[in-house]
């Protein structure tokens, strides 16, 4: 993990994001490159983790930089998981949004136990209207 670099000033292609999502195991619209492009373009926060020239992680968020930030994607290549990269990506997000901004997310079922380990409190007061597409 010592060689992992975190960057918020690098653009990646939709194919790069698709490949990372697949490698991480997160469920996203892998084959809809246009949608992935829009997901990147409309994010306020987009931080990537790199091992040399290989992208190994991403944190993508939507925020007003004042009150709340929705962390819409946290994905780390399975070959790089359990090394603290996800936690470090979240720390990078927190640095960008400041301490007065709440960080909110919806967890994938497989990651429910992960988030409390890195400082998130479980919230029972949330609601969702699920996407239909």
* 122 domain residue, yes or no: no
Whether 107 maps to a domain, the answer reads yes
**Domain region containing 79:** 4-117
The CATH number for 63's domain is 3.40.630.30
For 76-119, write each residue's pLDDT tens digit. 999 999 999 999 999 999 999 999 999 999 998 888 999 999 99
Residues 6+ apart with CB under 8 A from 55: 12, 16, 20, 48, 49
Interval 34-80: pLDDT, tens: 999 999 999 999 999 999 999 999 999 999 999 999 999 999 999 99
Residue 131 lies inside a defined structural domain of this protein:
no
Q: What DSSP assignment string belongs to 37-68?
A: HHHHHT-SEEEEEEETTEEEEEEEEEE-SSSE
pLDDT score of 2:
66
Number of domains into which the chain is organized: 1
8 within domain boundaries: yes
């Amino acid at each position: 993990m010592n060689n992992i670099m975190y960057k918020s000033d690098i653009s990646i292609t939709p194919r790069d994001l698709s490949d990372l999502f697949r490698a991480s195991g997160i469920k996203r619209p892998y084959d809809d490159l246009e949608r992935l492009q829009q997901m990147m373009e409309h994010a306020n926060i987009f931080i990537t983790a790199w091992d040399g020239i290989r992208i190994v992680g991403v944190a993508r968020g939507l925020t007003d930089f004042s009150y709340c930030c929705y962390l819409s994607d946290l994905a780390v290549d399975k070959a790089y998981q359990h090394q603290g990269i996800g936690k470090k990506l979240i720390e990078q997000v927190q640095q960008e949004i400041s301490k007065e901004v709440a960080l909110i997310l919806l967890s994938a079922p497989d990651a429910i136990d992960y988030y409390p380990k890195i400082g998130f409190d479980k919230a029972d007061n949330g609601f969702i209207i699920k996407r239909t597409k």
